[in-house]
Chain A
Amino acid sequence: MKSMELYSEPFATTGNITGEGFRRLLGRPALGLLQTVIREALQNSMDATLPDQGPTVMLRSRVLRGEEFAALRGRVFAEIPKDADAALLQEELMGESLEVFEIADFGTSGLSGPTRADLVADGPEDPDFVNFMRNVGAARDTRHGGGTYGYGKTSLYALSRHSTILVDSQTTCDGLPVRRLMACRLGGTFAAIEGDVRKRFTGRHWWGSLDGTSGVEPFSGDEAIRLAGLLGLPERSAEATGTTIMIVSPRLDEEDDEDERLPVGPHLLETVLWNFWPRMCRDTPCHRKLSVSIDVDGQNVRVPDPEDYPPLDHFARALSDIRSGGGQIVRSQRPAMDLGRIAMVKGLRSDRNPAALRADSPFPKQASHIALMRPVELVVKYVEGEAFSDARFEWGGVFVCSDDDEVEAAFADAEPPAHDDWIPDNLPKGRSKTFVNVGLKRINEAARTFAIPLSASGQSEERGQSLATTATLMGRLLEGGSAKGPGRRSGGGGGGTTKRTRVSSPRFSRLEIDAGRKVAVFEADLSNDGRSPDLVLRAVPHLVMDGGIASSDDVDVGFTGQVLDLTVADATEPGESMAIGTMAGRVVCRVPVPDEAAIGLRLSLEEAGT
């Protein structure tokens, strides 16, 4: 069996895009690299979905050893490019094993069309192979597709420590089934002697079959099938179309130290769920539904439904609302246009899946986010809003922009190459820019005010300072006032202690028998500053009902309102009142008690003669 041959692209007289430039096109995505790769790859898979059937995607991380590793070393990378960094690849190939990360999709069209960029596509297929393996920056052609540009594929190279990937695709060309296997590397520009001439090279390299004239073609047919088998790539047949991308020596995390490395399984699981849950819900239509399997070193990682993976349960409900025509319409006034729908769901914060408890989990501890998407239902990003102050509750929302062509195109055009944001500044001034600006403004408003409605926060953008201090100061102005309204002021100002004449509330002390009658004895305390010697102490007994004062009307329980005697300090007088003069100290009051009721007592100080 023959090995793959290396083709390094020389600069054309007109100039080419270099490997470095190709990689730089990706920009700096807001998301982590692995997340970008998975988003990009899964979006591509979904765009390539065959009609009437949702795609199946397998994410697999494994280590090539033995025969598989030998096939990679001997049959694929038999020739090593001459650029400076390629030494690292060579060094790794000298070892015992090599880690790879594979993204394989099934139920998709594969990388179809011609294999060369200079041929016009005249078959029924899209020129996917050329776009994916050779061209960069081709505008999208899937209507309302997820990937608006092809730039994102450079993230696949960036994930490889050697900027090298291997692609195996079962697809069709001119209506006939074909198998294609090819490797590609994006290195730095370099100069080398080829023949007798020193030439400059772009840094783009392909491994395949040299066609003798202008470049390189993929392995195809039996050759490709046999080599794919040796490498342990997923089996495919003419019916099982789809693409496997193998990323050589992936940077699955930035820690090179083995002990520091985080488990890949949960990381993959969460990345998939956090970004693709709208396509994985139980009520996602069949033809859009994405099935994902995750396999790490031979261990299968179970992928739960989003409904069972809090906080996605809330988001799934919100999306389901929108799908069934619910939610609120987000409108732009000038120009008048429906921009999309927004739905928000609040609920109890459920316990998280153990995978979501990692420190670097993308899942918030308490959700207060709105997921933004176009009708294609891929999450572009999440807008974080105000969380409920009570941590037992959380909320999630979904915004889906309108499927009106103009509006959808506006939001799609606002996406940077990695599709992870909506940036109105990407758009020229005009209707489109207004749509995206207004849409984002409404979404941000909704996120900010869902947990704390405007009415509660005082309609103001920012909550002002607390008014407590001012209120306290104003309260002091009232201090000298009286709750009694106009009339005699009790006590008096002046310096020194404010001693006053007053009597405390009576306390029930005991029951006695006096001349065959039951008598209740109440006690109280009288303080006297001596300034009002004319005051009279008056005792008024009453019936007690439901814990309060009751009149004795309507009922005959033998209650007369009589008081036997009053004692202040050592002086005792019969009847219900006595002048206090300058007396002070303990007050004792004796009141007869009827058989069938309880009594209470009121004590008051009154001016003599009233």
Chain B
Amino acid sequence: MTRVLLLPRLNELGVMRIIDDVGNEMPTAKEVLDILDEHSSCLWFAPSGGSVSVEAAVDIARDIRQIAERHGFPESSDQKSRSAFDAEVTTWLGDQDILSTGEALRDDVWAFLSSALLADVVSWRFPDRNLERFRGGVRNAFQRLWIRGVTLDLGPGSVDRWQLVHALSEDAMVQIFERASLAGDRKLARAIASAWMVTSGRIGRGRMEEVMRAATKMIRLRNEIIDLGELEQSVLKREIEKIFFRVAGVTDDFPASRPLATADS
């Protein structure tokens, strides 16, 4: 990467303006631009550290929109096409160099993408149009997918780079990524995702919601007395699998559990 692109940022007030002003209709890009013209103080850039690039944000939005169109946007929307859209956006976002600069860590960058450039796509993906899908945060329509992508990416060198993204259920994703103590540690989050995959292979996806709920709680309790993130990768993987197996009532047949190939293991 040769230079840092600074993406447009939209503050909380700007998100409210856009979502309030357009009422119950899907806001069109033109309407959004009119609103932003009127409330230009809501829009800003980092004052230094790279070069300002509205174009980069527009490019990201264009590509996401194309993915949405492949999955039925704007006409049809069902549970299946929406989750396929999520998975494709997740892998796409996880592979964007432009977002690896720290800009994507900011809520207001995502707020701009979701509220200003892709409000119609967000409205399609989340028909209830909840405000938290537009503003930045763990529940933002795209920010949640981006953090999944970069966290669960097994690396370009691995056999099946995005297998965790494709394997995990939405509930499992939410269990990991809406818990800062789990999602904040990439190694830990990946070990949990991998254990989820292994366990669901043993007991089936049907029971995984309850197992996941108990297992993540156990892990968080355990994290108070052992700093799991500091464990060596293979030890951590064993620890997390043991917790899953115990909660699921599965006999631990180590070392026969399926090995997980990651680029940095």
Contacts and interface: CB of A to CB of B under 8 A. Distances in A.
Contact of B213 (A455, A547, A554, A596): A554
Given A453-B41, A455-B41, A546-B181, A557 B221 contact: yes
Contact of B221 (A348, A393, A455, A550): A550
B225 interface: yes
| B213, B214, B220 — most chain A CB neighbours (10 Å) | B220
A555 B214 CA distance: 6
| A545, A546, A554, A596 — most chain B CB neighbours (10 Å) | A545
Nearest to A545: B220
B218 A546 contact: no
A550 B41 contact: no
Interface residues of B, number: 16
Contacts of B47: 348, 393
Interface string A362-375: 00000000000000
Interface in A528-559: 543-547, 550, 554-555, 557
| B41, B181, B224 — most chain A CB neighbours (10 Å) | B224
A597 interface: yes
B207 interface: no
B202 interface: no
Contacts of B258: none
Given A348-B48, A393-B47, A546-B181, A596 B214 contact: no
Given A348-B48, A393-B47, A546-B181, A555 B221 contact: yes
A348 B218 CA distance: 51
Contacts of A546: 179-181, 220, 223
B217 interface: yes
Chain A residues touching B, majority SS:
loop
B222 interface: yes
Contacts of B218: 555, 557, 596
B225 A597 contact: yes
A596 B220 CA distance: 10
Contact of A554 (B48, B214, B222, B224): B214
Given A453-B41, A554-B213, A555-B217, A597 B48 contact: no
B48 A596 contact: no
B41 A596 contact: no
A596 B217 contact: no
A544 B224 contact: yes
Contacts of A596: 218, 221-222, 225
A598 interface: yes
Nearest to B224: A598
B181 A550 contact: no
Interface in A312-337: none
Interface in A293-348: 348
Contacts of B223: 545-546
A550 B217 contact: yes
A545 B223 CA distance: 8
Contacts of A393: 47
A484 B218 CA distance: 35
Interface in A428-470: 453, 455
A545 B220 CA distance: 6
B222 A597 contact: yes
Nearest to A597: B221
Interface in A463-522: none
Interface string B203-246: 00000000001100110111111000000000000000000000
Contacts of A544: 221, 224
| B47, B48, B217, B218 — most chain A CB neighbours (10 Å) | B217
Interface of B: 41, 47-48, 179-181, 213-214, 217-218, 220-225
Given A393-B47, A554-B213, A555-B214, 14 more contacts: A453-B41, A545-B217, A545-B220, A545-B221, A545-B223, A546-B180, A546-B220, A550-B217, A550-B221, A554-B217, A555-B221, A596-B218, A597-B221, A598-B224
